Structure 1
Amino acid sequence: MQAFDLSGKVALVTGGNGGIGLGIARGLAKAGAALAIVGRSPEKLAAATAELERLAAKGAKVMGLACDVSDEAAVAAMVEEIAAGLGRLDILVNNAGTNIRKRPEDLAADEWHRVMDANLTSTFLCSKACYPQMKAAGGGKILNNGSMLSIFGAPWSPAYGASKGGVVQLTRSLAAAWARDNIQVNCMLPGWIDTDLTQRARSEIEGLNEHVLQRTPAKRWGRPADFEGLAAFFAGPASDFITGAALPVDGGFSISL
């Protein structure tokens, strides 16, 4: 199982205090990585940090940090703090994001920019800030959180879909640019995962739960735990010859009519 062993590695997970991000952080902690998680809610951040400290293999350290990941200076300071506190930075998971569910004709320009900054600009800024650390270490892993809306359209998520499509293209550009530095950059495309955000969507979109269950061959919603093994795979040596990939994690939703 050495291909999945992250002992001695340090990982940063943005939005790692809940939902998919916390599922990924759990997987990295179990595989032996030291962790820095970033979140906006102090209460959720404290609870997630305490949980991950209990899960962490071989006593690996866990840091919980607050940061506006769409602010370049704040991101640079965050990366420096992590490198100083944990000694290095090998793995980045760009998971932080947001959505504003409105039809395009109802979406204000500032709302468009808010979603783009949270989802796409933050992925660029965090990747760029972590690059020198990874290059100095002789390599690294970046896993970006796209979405099934990277490949589908939805009338109620024009900014979100555009930002997540951009995440896939950014993933490919970073993968091509940084392969020479032994940095692999990949993207996951979550489908309908049972999180606080999608629970709100179910209350806002009539018939959504029934539609998801009917179309998904697995006949269930995904869970944050479904991302634990995926995180260990993309963050470890097992994926050393995979870069620029965009992997659906959706129970078959994207292949079914």
Structure 2
Amino acid sequence: MNLFDLDNRAVIVTGGNRGIGFALAKGLHQYGAKVIIAARDHARSQRACDAISPDSDRVLAVKCDVTCTKSVSVAFEQAQEWAGGLYGCIANAGVRGAGCALDEVNATAWRAAFNTNLEGTMNTFQAAIKPLKAQGEGRLVAVSSLAALHGNALFTDYSSAKAGIEGLCRALAIELAPHKINVNCIMPGWVDTEMNTDIKQDRRQFESIKRLRVPLKRWASAEEMVGAVVYLMSGAGSYHTGDTLRIDGGYHIG
């Protein structure tokens, strides 16, 4: 048996039509998983499915807004009906936040960051628990951020929400252990995705991050997040739960 083989195990990836989410969906598919891309932009999700494999019967797009419990519930029902069950879920959907000082953030903007990042993760995992219990085992993985550990000036809402995700996962790992469901986070560092386009365009800030803070002296590609998630989802990660895997090029020690 290949420890990293996901052999037709069904996995939902929220926000899986772009960036890190798309890379994870594609990588899981390559290792044999049935992948369900759940996101708000259904047309973009369908294009993502076609890019992964235009003729595959192992990839599906479902419309899903993680801030709406009804939308999440319907998406999971569609996914289970199509796949015949569910083995795993990656809560990846997220937004960056207001991008201003705390004393300038209004309540609406603050709640928006929490609604998508933290509450969206809670909604997603809540919908996943019942089918994973029915399966008799399963894996939940959330996408945190380096901002949860180091903080991020002008993004207190984002940093706080991502830190909350890690607390949620640690508690849930204990709660679900009797059901053979492992719960973990990955913590990406600086990744070259659409979300960080504005920072890349600021050459001084972009080069400063690489040169002064990242020992590997470069940003990550989204594809470099795949290995950790395949490990956590597969037999290789069967004894790994309640943890956060940092994938940051050494930023935390730089």
The two structures have a TM-score, normalised by structure 2, of 0.95
- The residue number in structure 2 matching 1:200 is 198
Distance 2:204 2:108 in 1: 30
Question: Matched residue of 1:207: which SS?
Answer: helix
* Distance in 2 separating the partners of 1:17 and 1:25: 8
Q: 1:160 corresponds to which residue? A: 158
RMSD: 1.5
Q: Answer 1 or 2: higher relative contact order, Cα 8 Å, separation at least 6.
A: 1
How far does residue 137 in structure 1 lie from its aligned partner after superposition? Answer: 0.6
**Which digits, 9 at most, give the CA deviation of each residue in 1:235-254, with x for residues without a partner?**
11110100010111110111
Q: CA deviation at 1:102?
A: 1.2
| Deviation of the 1:78 alpha carbon | 1.1
- Output aligned runs, 1:42-61, within 5 Å: 42-54=42-54, 59-61=56-58
Cα pair 1:27 1:227 within 8 Å, conserved: no
- SS at 1:2 equivalent: coil
User: Which residue does the alignment assign to 2:242?
Assistant: 244
Counterpart-to-counterpart distance in 1, 2:191 and 2:73 = 31
* In structure 2, distance between residues paired with 1:220 and 1:133: 40
Match of 1:88 in 2: 85
1:44 Cα offset (Å): 2.5
Match of 1:222 in 2: 220
User: What is the CA-CA distance between 1:76 and the residue it aligns to?
Assistant: 1.1
4+ residue stretches of structure 1 with deviation over 6 A? none
Tell me how far apart the structure 2 counterparts of residues 13 and 123 of structure 1 sit (CA, whole Å): 11
User: What is residue 21 of structure 1 aligned with on the other side?
Assistant: 21
Contact 1:141 1:183 in 2 (8 A): yes
Are 2:85 and 2:131, in contact at CA under 8 Å, matched by a contact in 1?
A: yes
| Alignment partner of 1:98 out of 84, 95, 100 | 95
Contact 1:32 1:60 in 2 (8 A): no
Separation in structure 2 between the aligned mates of residue 61 and residue 246 of structure 1, nearest angstrom:
28
After TM superposition, give the deviation of residue 202 of structure 1 in Å.
3.3
SS at match of 2:134: helix
Shift of 1:8: 2.3
Gapped regions of structure 2 (runs ≥ 5): none
Percent identical residues:
30
Can you list the C-alpha shifts for 1:104-138, whole angstroms capped at 9, x where unaligned? Answer: 11111000000001000011111111111011111
Is the 1:147–1:164 contact (alpha carbons within 8 Å) kept by the matching residues of 2? yes
Question: Who is 2:115 aligned against?
Answer: 117
- The aligned runs of 1:59-70 (5 Å cut-off) are 59-70=56-67
Deviation at 1:18, TM superposition (A): 0.7
Letter in 2 for 1:3: L
CA 1:69/1:151 → structure 2, altered by over 3 Å: closer, same or farther? same
Task: State the AA in 2 paired with 1:253.
Answer: Y
Could you tell me whether the CA contact under 8 Å between 1:37 and 1:49 is conserved in 2? yes
SS at 2:89 equivalent:
strand
CA displacement 1:30-81 (0-9 Å, x = unmatched): 0100111022334431221101225x9xx55211122111111111111111
Counterpart CA distance in 1 for 2:85 and 2:139 is 13
Question: Which is worse superposed, 66-75 or 11-20?
Answer: 66-75
SS at the partner of 2:53? helix
CA contact (8 A) 2:29 2:58 kept: no
Equivalent-residue separation in structure 2 for 1:224 and 1:134 (angstroms): 27
**Corresponding residue SS for 1:11:** strand
Shift of residue 154, structure 1, vs aligned partner: 1.9
Q: What is the rounded CA distance, in whole Å, between the counterparts of 1:144 and 1:78 in structure 2?
A: 18
Q: 1:102/1:208 Cα in 2 relative to 1: closer, same or farther (>3 Å)?
A: same
SS in 1 for 2:184: strand
Instruction: Give the aligned partner of residue 9 of structure 2.
Output: 9
Alpha-carbon distance between aligned partners in 2 of 1:107 and 1:144, rounded to the nearest angstrom: 26
C-alpha separation in 2, matches of 1:207 and 1:163: 28
Distance 1:12 1:27 in 2: 13
